[in-house]
Amino acid sequence: MEIDFGFHVFLLFMMIIGSFVAVFSKKLISSLVSLGTVGMLLSIYFLILGAPDIAITQLVVEVLTLIILLSAIIDRDVTADMTSSKVYGFLLIFILIISFLTFLSYSYFIFPEFGKANMRVGEKYLYLAPEKLKSANCVTAIVLDFRGYDTIGEATVIFTAIIGVMVLVRKKGRKDE
């Protein structure tokens, strides 16, 4: 399947517009909806870049994020005033532009060109997963076998986050109020 280079740029521009609206809009609900748009476009773009597993995960996670944030604000204060805090001001924008130019020079000199990946480790995994492990899907082979310790660490992080949420939102056993 051949995909035009212009289509990549089009999808990325749509995502940039969505994130601008999400950061700069006045109502919180409209900014949440445009955040959802960015997530869905990202899911489509993952599918085009040849990553179907991540596209599915991104879709599910996007819907869950939207539901959690909406339930956080739904019967509370839904207007955000446009005034930003004036503490940083000019200096912050200066720093942001400097770091953006640094990243741009890195992307010109150091990163591989778009479409030419650095396959030093990935090639070995692509050989080993169908031959040795008899696994058709290389991504699940890496997640569950080659880098299984990473997955254990991920489970630990999620467990810790759930404990934190339970401590924060419980009603029973609070001392104050």
Partner 1 sequence: MIIYMCIAIMFFVGLYGMMVKKNIIKMIIGVNIIGYAVNLFFIVLGYRKNGIAPIMVPGMEIKDFVQKAVNPLPQALVLTSIVIDLSIICFLASLSIRIYEKYGSFDFEKIRRLKG
DSSP assigned state of 100: H
Taking the complex as a whole, the smallest distance from the CB of residue 172 to partner 1 amounts, in Å, to: 15
Min dist. Cβ of residue 36 to partner 1 (A): 10
Whole-number Cα distances in Å, 80 to 19, 31, 57, 83, 162? 16, 10, 31, 9, 28
**Complex with partner 1: residue 81 or 175, whichever CB lies closer:** 81
Q: CB of residue 63 vs partner 1: minimum separation in angstroms?
A: 10
Residue 33, exposed/middle/buried by CB under 10 A (0-12, 13-18, 19+)? Answer: middle
The minimum distance between CB 105 and partner 1, in angstroms, equals 11
Residue type, 168: L
Rounded to whole angstroms, what are the CA distances from 114 to 26, 41, 130?
36, 20, 27
Q: Which is nearer to partner 1, 77 or 175 (CB)?
A: 77
